[in-house]
Each structure stands twice: as C-alpha cells, then as structure tokens.
Amino acid sequence: MSITRHQIRELAFQTLFAVNSNPDADKQFVVDSLLEENKVKKQPEYLLMLVNGVLEQQNQLDDLISSKLNSKWTLSRLNKTDLIILRLGLYEIKFVQDVPNKVALNEALQLAKEFSDEKERSFINGVLSNFV
C-alpha cells in the first residue's frame, strides 16, 4: 500500500505519543506495529526521520515552544497531544528543508483536527505561526 506524507505524519505522531507515554517502549516496535496495523509493507524513510528528529531535537524544540508561551503557561501544563503536535510541526519548520513552512503548519493543524479539538487547534496555530 502506498502511503502519503500526511499518513506518515499521523504515524509519526502516534509513535511519538506512545514513546512519550511509555519511555521504555521500543520505538521501532511501535513503528512496526503501527505499519502492520495500517497494512503498510515498507517502512517510509520519512517516518523514522521525523520520529528520530523530534526525539533528538526535543530539548531545543521545547525551548523554542516555551519561548512563545504566555508567561502563565509552561510545557507541563500543555496537553500531551498538543505538545507532540507542536514538536512535530516545529521540527518540520526548523529542520526539514524540503517541506515549506506553511505546509508544515497546515499539516500540524490537520493533526490537531484529527487528534485534538478546535480550541487547541487555534492554540497550535498561534504558537507555530510565530515560526513561519
């Protein structure tokens, strides 16, 4: 089965969420399970690039996100779903050269539409728009 970049981002989000929820989880096992569940035979390179990139740059991404939050907010107050979407979107904006910033922003908003709610989607748009 062929897989779109949007579907890859969904799988990356799900992998990052699983790893965030259980730091002892084997990320490759999670990826393999999700690919099997979605009947994807070949692991897309972009999927591991996103997952590994977000995990490797997490501290820098979190610092950048924190710098755009209202002084009353901290990363620990953010919903985990939204934080992972912010990290993924910001990673693409900052580190993936072949994805236009507006596409990365739009894709993050699509993930928010699928995995979060309208209020949080607006919040994610507000934070990531600072970097576009």
Domains by residue range for the chain, with CATH: 5-129 (1.10.940.10)
Non-local CB neighbours of 23 within 8 Å, separated by 6+ positions: none
Tokens encoding 71:
């002084």
Residue 118 has pLDDT above 90, yes or no: no
Residue 111 has pLDDT above 80, yes or no: yes
Residue 25 has pLDDT above 80, yes or no: yes
**Residue pLDDT, tens place only, 34-82:** 999 989 888 999 999 999 999 999 999 999 999 999 888 889 999 999 9
Number of alpha helices (DSSP H) and beta strands (DSSP E) in the chain: 7, 0
Please report the DSSP string for 67-100 in residue order: HTS-TT--GGGS-HHHHHHHHHHHHHHHH-TTS-
> What is this structure's pTM?
0.94
* pLDDT score, position 1: 59
Tokens encoding 84:
């992972």
d(CA 48, CA 69): 28
Nearest alpha-carbon partner for 13 in 110, 101, 78: 110
Average pLDDT, the chain: 93
